[in-house]
A and B are shown apart, each in its own frame.
Chain A
Amino acid sequence: MTNHWVDIKNANVILVMGGNAAEAHPCGFKWVTEAKAHNHATFIVVDPRFTRSAAVADLYAPLRTGSDIAFLGGVINYLLTHDKIQHEYVKAYTNASFIVAEGYKFDDGLFSGYDEAARKYDKSTWAYEIGPDAFARVDETLQHPRCVLQLLKQHYSRYTPEMVSNICGTARDTFLKVCEHIATTSAPNRTLTIMYALGWTQHTVGSQMIRTAAMMQLLLGNMGMAGGGMNALRGHSNIQGLTDLGLLSDLLPGYLTMPREQESDYQGYIDKRALKPLRPGQMSYWQNYGKFHVSLMKSWFGDAATKENNWCFDWLPKLDKVYDVLQVFELMHQGKLNGYFCQGFNPLASFPNKAKIDVALAKLKYLVVIDPLATETSCFWEHHGDFNNVDPARIRTEVIRLPSTCFAEENGSLTNSGRWLQWHYKGAEPPGEAKPDADIIAGIFLKLRELYKKEGGAFPDPILNLTWNYMIPHTPSAEELAREFNGKALADLTDPKDPTKVVLTKGQQLDGFAQLRDDGSTACGCWLYSGAWTEKGNMMARRDNSDPSGLGNTINWAFAWPANRRVLYNRASCDPAGKPWDQKRKLIGWDGSKWSGADIPDFKPDSAPSDGMNPFIMLPEGVGRLFALDKMAEGPFPEHYEPFETPIDTNPLHPKVISNPAARVFKGDMEGFGKSKEYPYAATTYRLTEHFHFWTKHTRLSAIMQPEQFVEISEELAKEKGIKAGDQVKVWSSRGFIKAVVVVTKRIKPLQVNGRIVHHVGIPLHWGFKGIAKRGYLANILTPFVGDANTQTPEFKSFLVNIEKA
């Protein structure tokens, strides 16, 4: 979230789209009710299904699954043609005025630079025109035919209400009503908040769906405002923490990035990331990349990391490609990966095309599962009738199960969607032999280190030199780990402005990432988390909920990254002169000598408005990007592409380019995608409130509340197929089948799309062959093995199935 949960109460209009907050985030959803009750907010839900969120919405608009870019592109077109944008904001705080390089083109579904054979773009034309001063050129009048605003207008002019209705199946009037409500928030004193989740990420164009919404928020002037922002609702209590700490194969902690194969030169690696300003007077905060990186290496390798050895840069693996989960299971499926550690997740249930995952796991020599529960993955070799139809006699994988504690059985912090690190305390002793994950990993590490010490091995250095200063080496405590990611001074640190003044003495905890150095005098395990455990103690454990501004910005409650800031980009909540756009929701303001207010300024604290520094300080141009340059795989402007399994066999915008041309598809998978002739219905998978993922089917109370697997269809489809509510049905895709009870509902309606009727089949995902709820089929038996072109998140939300009474 750019904002945070409590801040939702400040919104005037709330859009839940690409998510179902009431269903999947019922506790956070209370802030929607709060906004309605105390801010008279209008609540809008756009979703293929009339969800639990829709049940309490003021306005609901259905749309076909996978068509969100068409819908949002239509809203952008509406805002531009009806002149409902926040002009001053757009001009000053976005790249609307920037001139795009000659050679950039969009034509019949493809941007300039496409290489069909590689399914990739050469993105060199997706760039600004750079002047002789090495800065990007702008046209303040916004009239230049190649300025971003003009290109944007042109790009989305195709997204007329009629086109939206044709692609999405949303009635024109309903679509326009949504547009009208959203457009009201272009006023400086009104805001729209957007709450989304996996309903956007789990598409082959997921990242671009989110981008379209973010662009809309920039046009409306809602980024950085209390009650505005782009708010990703994370689906797991600590999944935000997972990404922050870099547990993705191409990331290092704090969104630092792993070097690529061709990046063997340390300085080149840093320079590429420490971006120089693209406009005069801009901060371009990533210029500090080196400080974050060196401090991370010092944290990991201590004295072994020196300037001379480039802070152990050579010890970092260099990626030849991204090893996302689809890639890893593809390699496993090809027999190229034969050992697998699976910690805290359940790939057999969570990854697409279960049949492929089954085959892949069976090719492993060994599989280690670290989990509090006996997951389906750890039992993938067991035969459970149709639910898991494998032959144990033919599976040779050795499975080792290491029981771990769950969050309530250990101290630690959870990072919520709003970026708050909240400390929690152990509530119960773990059962049996269960151990904290840190202890399990420590045990494995210490054993490995011992072996390397004894036997040498090909490349022992990083293992032998890894800092491991925990009081009890085989049980690093949560407190020790937290102090480590906060970071400390490795030498006395002096004030850069006054070298006689010592700010921190050697060994003291850092106050925050502003103190990081690239000379080896600081260590920090995750720069974004610096400030969470300072000399004052554990900031994450703070529980002062006083809220002097009334905006819910309780800055003494826990710790929010970065720097305890609650609303990102909050400089943009003020006009260029430093006055809040809306006095009632003042987060910060310029008081003549500095920025101050209810939040920590997301800005250089003493940079006067007259300096001309822009609010989006992480970007080299200092302004929000309507045009994404080369940052996205499939284009600088989001374009509607159909799901890889489309129910309409075409893309009404450009029939020659139907689905995302830059999405990675593995050999054999393309041919296996279902076609609408055999699989006529658009299917989508989702969660229910009563359950959490594949865990709570192990819990009696949750099992009582939703005991048995079901799928949902409309009354019309039920009638067509001779199916009654409560019947058993069989649902199948080109990858397999499931059987379940059917719920026949008015909440799913057939949609009129591109001249045909599209029916949806809704597939809740919580059941499997383990646990105490009624046994069921893993929903991912049905889903396709293809992901978003940028993140590789699988397309769980849009695929094709057929259905019959079982």
Chain B
Amino acid sequence: MALQSLDIKRRSATTTPSPSQRQTQEVLKLIDVSKCIGCKACQVACMEWNDTRDAIGANHGVYDNPMDLTENSWTVMRYAELELEQGKLEWLIRKDGCMHCAEPGCLKACPAPGAVVQYSNGIVDFHEENCIGCGYCITGCPFNIPRLSKKDSKVYKCTLCSDRVAAGLEPACVKTCPTGAIVFGSKEDMIRHAEERVVDLKSRGFANAGIYNPQGVGGTHVIYVLQHADRPEVYCGLPRNPSIGPMVELWKGAAKPLASLGLAMVVAGAAFHYVTKGPNEVSAEIEKEFEDEK
């Protein structure tokens, strides 16, 4: 990661200035929901590239499987059957996973120095060796993405294949997607492509087609083309206006000047919790704290 460390723009719970010498391009993954056939090849590619394997589960009366994101499934397809217009059935299939926010709630919430990083290309990555398993990032995430592993008490999520991207490759899901529903490239190119897709969808009768690139988190480095951009929630609960919780914002703002002291205490506290109660409870507790603050 020596080279990648040069490209780290932000680190959780750290005030040391980041390197800024290298000039990299911002990247973006575009998921065109209107092209997705829900084949799950991207789910398979994700597990293959990252060497994770989820359990062989069960069928729960739907096509979704695994049913939710897990520490092994960093992306899952979510299937929604809808009749938004009388008599016109739609099967909206959304690939769920980390959105790689420009203003990442996870990074802001994380108390462990350098456990969550953001690269200059926009990818938000977890450096699990620094993760203390407190689960703050889970609470901080407006999209409910990170998952805590029971095995090693670390949090996992989509890395946007930061390892592949650093070597000039596209993410594994992009490489494998048979329909071109997922494409990857520079931010400008992808936005332009997304705009073209919206024009096409409008010509096919989707008057409210549009791009999902929510500004509440500063925009994302994974964006969607949606047939019904006016109703993101119909895509299995894609949040309409995601934003970072006020507690996270507040905590981050206040903590900065007191960084070293405050952080040391939080880390120590979390570590204490971890040793005595285990990570899950800590995260539940913290979650409650956040909720109470709201």
Interface residues of A (CB under 8 A from B): 22-23, 26-27, 29-30, 33-34, 36-37, 40, 50, 52-56, 58, 60, 689-690, 700-710, 724-727, 741-747, 772-774
Contact = CB atoms under 8 A, between A and B. Distances in A.
Contact of B65 (A30, A52, A704): A704
A707 B56 contact: yes
A706 B61 contact: no
Given A52-B39, A690-B39, A707-B58, 17 more contacts: A22-B39, A30-B180, A34-B180, A37-B200, A55-B91, A56-B35, A56-B37, A690-B65, A704-B55, A704-B65, A705-B44, A707-B59, A708-B57, A708-B58, A741-B59, A742-B61, A772-B56
A416 B87 CA distance: 38
A704 B57 contact: yes
Interface string B48-62: 100001111111111
B40 A689 contact: yes
Contacts of A37: 180, 200
Contacts of B189: none
Contacts of A703: 56
A29 B37 contact: yes
Contacts of A701: 44, 47-48, 53
Interface residues of B, number: 41
B52 to A, nearest CB: 10
B272 interface: no
Given A30-B179, A52-B37, A747-B81, A60 B59 contact: no
Interface string B152-191: 0000000000000000000000000011110000000000
B38 interface: yes
B44 A23 contact: no
Given A55-B37, A56-B34, A743 B61 contact: yes
Contacts of A709: 59
Given A30-B179, A726-B60, A772-B56, A746 B40 contact: no
User: Which of B53, B178, B204: most chain A Cβ within 10 A?
Assistant: B178
A709 B41 CA distance: 19
Interface string B68-102: 00000000000001110000011111000000000
A53 B35 CA distance: 10
Contacts of B37: 22-23, 26, 29, 52-53, 55-56, 689
A56 B41 CA distance: 17
A58 B181 CA distance: 16
Interface residues of chain B: helix, strand, loop or mixed (majority): loop
A56 B65 CA distance: 21
Contacts of A54: 91
B27 interface: no
A336 B180 CA distance: 53
A774 B39 contact: no
Given A26-B39, A56-B35, A708-B58, A746 B83 contact: yes
A760 to B, nearest CB: 15
Given A60-B89, A701-B44, A701-B47, A33 B179 contact: yes
Nearest to B72: A704
A709 B65 CA distance: 13
A34 B66 CA distance: 30
B170 to A, nearest CB: 16
20 contacts: A29-B179, A30-B179, A33-B180, A33-B181, A37-B180, A50-B89, A52-B37, A56-B36, A56-B179, A689-B38, A701-B48, A704-B54, A704-B57, A707-B56, A707-B59, A708-B58, A726-B59, A727-B61, A746-B81, A747-B89
A709 B55 CA distance: 16
A707 B40 contact: no
B38 A52 contact: yes
Nearest to A708: B59
A33 B56 contact: no
A29 B178 contact: yes
Contact of A50 (B40, B63, B91): B91
Interface of B: 34-41, 43-44, 47-48, 53-63, 65-66, 81-83, 89-93, 178-181, 200, 203-205
Contact of A705 (B34, B35, B58, B65): B65
B47 A704 contact: yes
Nearest to A740: B59
Given A52-B39, A53-B37, A705-B65, A743 B179 contact: no
Q: Tell which of B40, B43, B61, B82 has the most Cβ of chain A within 10 Å.
A: B61
A26 B179 contact: yes
A774 B56 CA distance: 8
A700 B200 contact: no
A644 to B, nearest CB: 31
Nearest to B93: A55
Contacts of B65: 690, 704-707
Contact of A725 (B39, B62, B93, B178): B62
Contacts of B181: 33
A386 to B, nearest CB: 18
Contacts of B66: 704
B22 to A, nearest CB: 35
B81 A725 contact: no
Contact of A33 (B35, B62, B91): B35
B61 to A, nearest CB: 3
A707 B43 CA distance: 14
B38 A55 contact: yes
Nearest to A705: B40
Nearest to B37: A22
The 8 residue pairs across chains A and B that have the minimum distance between CB atoms: A725-B61, A726-B61, A22-B37, A708-B59, A55-B91, A689-B39, A741-B59, A26-B178
B147 to A, nearest CB: 16
A700 B63 CA distance: 17
A52 B77 CA distance: 13
A806 B158 CA distance: 40
Contacts of A702: 44
A774 B55 CA distance: 12
B39 A744 contact: no
Contacts of B47: 701, 704
Contacts of B93: 55
B127 to A, nearest CB: 27
B214 to A, nearest CB: 25
A425 B178 CA distance: 23
A705 B47 CA distance: 11
A50 B79 CA distance: 13
A22 B93 CA distance: 13
Given A55-B91, A55-B93, A704-B54, A743 B178 contact: no
Contact of A710 (B39, B59, B180): B59
A772 B41 CA distance: 19
B55 to A, nearest CB: 7
A773 B57 CA distance: 9
A52 B47 CA distance: 23
A250 B57 CA distance: 45
A668 B89 CA distance: 43
A708 B58 CA distance: 6
A637 B37 CA distance: 36
Contacts of A774: 56, 58
A666 to B, nearest CB: 36
A745 B47 CA distance: 28
B180 A744 contact: no
B177 to A, nearest CB: 9
A27 B58 CA distance: 27
A58 B200 CA distance: 12
A36 B35 CA distance: 10
Best-surrounded residue of A22, A701, A746, A773 (most CB of chain B within 10 A): A701
A746 B83 CA distance: 9
A717 to B, nearest CB: 14
A37 to B, nearest CB: 7
Given A701-B47, A704-B65, A746 B59 contact: no
Nearest to B43: A705
Nearest to A58: B204
Contacts of A710: 59, 61
B43 to A, nearest CB: 6
